[in-house]
Amino acid sequence: MRKSILVPIDFSNNAFIAAQYARAFAKKYGYDLHFVHVFQAFKSAFQSRSTNEKDSEQANISSQAKLDAFESRLGITSAEASFRCVQGGFISSIQNYIEEHQISLVIMGTHGETGARKNVLGSNTYDVAKDINCSLLIVPERSHDFHLSHAVLFTDYQKGDENTLKSFIEVVSDNKMKYSIVHVHPEVKDPTVYEELELEEHRYHLQNNLGIDQLQMQLIHSKESSSLVREVVEEMQADVLLLTWNSDKNFFEKLFRKSLAKAIIMNPMVPVFLSGR
């Protein structure tokens, strides 16, 4: 049975970029593609049942017309992917679709049509990231060309790092993929020899348990910031950044370190992967 990718779309430019990325990803790694637009019709207790039904029908017609235009712009035939409009709550509809179609990966843009600012994670993407139990690949609007050969995991030595890497390896199934782990030391004092050994031990554990031929590592002494993430991406020529879920706290606190997680997710230069929890 072939694996499947779900791409929730809202007809924004970022959704189109994410759809193009998903198409290239599916073609390279042998996935079926599902494009889904979730919509809600206006409904009021002050309206008659027939009026509410008419509004629902009109919302469906409008959504389907937009989906047809999106499909035409993307240039994908119905034989290559499925396109569906679903009426209901966004998260519940996406979760139901994941379960019904045994989705392996969700690919979304960083922000959507209703996003107010470019540097803030879109509300729908945010909700999927924190509520959906499925691996998620967040694609920034600047990802115009698909290229995936180097995955970089930002680590704070969490136990979940092994699951994150394992999930990504299963998603791509690419023995030519290059992997690296990066630990940021934001303290005033320079990293000690013991901290260097800690990273080496973590690298050795991951490499041997997951059967990775070669896992590179880098210890960086710097203040956590978006500019630091950008430097790491450029210097290491990273194509995707991997983040590990941790506790049951809020969204960012579930990730290894709140400030660095925000820097990576809020304005990513390259796609960001979060494994299903």
Q: What is the mean pLDDT of the segment spanning 84-89?
A: 90
pLDDT tens column, 145-167: 888 999 999 999 988 999 999 99
Q: What type of residue sits at position 156? A: D
Q: Are residue 131 and residue 210 in the same domain, yes or no?
A: no
Specify the pTM.
0.89
Q: Among 110, 139, 168, identify where a domain stops.
A: 139
Q: Does 144 reside within a domain?
A: no
- Position 34 scores a pLDDT of 96
Question: 246: domain CATH number?
Answer: 3.40.50.620
Instruction: Please state at what angle helix 193-210 crosses helix 161-172, rounded to 10 degrees.
Output: 40
Q: Provide the domain count of the chain.
A: 2
Q: Does 22 reside within a domain?
A: yes
State the residue range of the domain holding 234: 150-274
Q: Are residue 76 and residue 106 in the same domain, yes or no?
A: yes
- Position 238 scores a pLDDT of 95
Phi/psi of residue 237, each to 5°?
50, 50
- Position 247 scores a pLDDT of 61
Q: Are residue 162 and residue 208 in the same domain, yes or no?
A: yes
Question: How large a percentage of the chain has pLDDT more than 90?
Answer: 57
Nearest CA to 196 out of 218, 213, 180 is that of 218
Does residue 273 register a pLDDT over 50?
yes
Q: Among 91, 106, 139, identify where a domain stops.
A: 139
Q: Are residue 119 and residue 175 in the same domain, yes or no?
A: no
Q: Are residue 16 and residue 126 in the same domain, yes or no?
A: yes
Any idea which residue has 């709140």 for tokens?
Answer: 258
- Position 118 scores a pLDDT of 44
DSSP calls for 11-40: S-HHHHHHHHHHHHHHHHHTEEEEEEEEE-
The pair of structure tokens assigned to 6 is: 């779900």
Q: Are residue 132 and residue 24 in the same domain, yes or no?
A: yes
Q: What is the mean pLDDT of the segment spanning 235-239?
A: 95
Q: Are residue 58 and residue 176 in the same domain, yes or no?
A: no
Question: How large a percentage of the chain has pLDDT more than 70?
Answer: 88
The pair of structure tokens assigned to 192 is: 């000690």
Q: Are residue 133 and residue 186 in the same domain, yes or no?
A: no
Q: Are residue 154 and residue 135 in the same domain, yes or no?
A: no
Distance, CA of 127 to CA of 106 (rounded, Å): 13
Q: Are residue 159 and residue 239 in the same domain, yes or no?
A: yes
Nearest CA to 107 out of 30, 201, 24, 195 is that of 24
Q: Does 194 reside within a domain?
A: yes
Q: Among 139, 171, 191, identify where a domain stops.
A: 139
Q: Are residue 134 and residue 172 in the same domain, yes or no?
A: no
- Where residue 215 falls among pLDDT bands split at 50, 70, 90? very high
Pick the more confident residue, 268 or 30: 30
Q: Does 166 reside within a domain?
A: yes
Q: Does 154 reside within a domain?
A: yes
Mean pLDDT for the chain overall: 87
Q: Are residue 154 and residue 264 in the same domain, yes or no?
A: yes
- Position 181 scores a pLDDT of 97
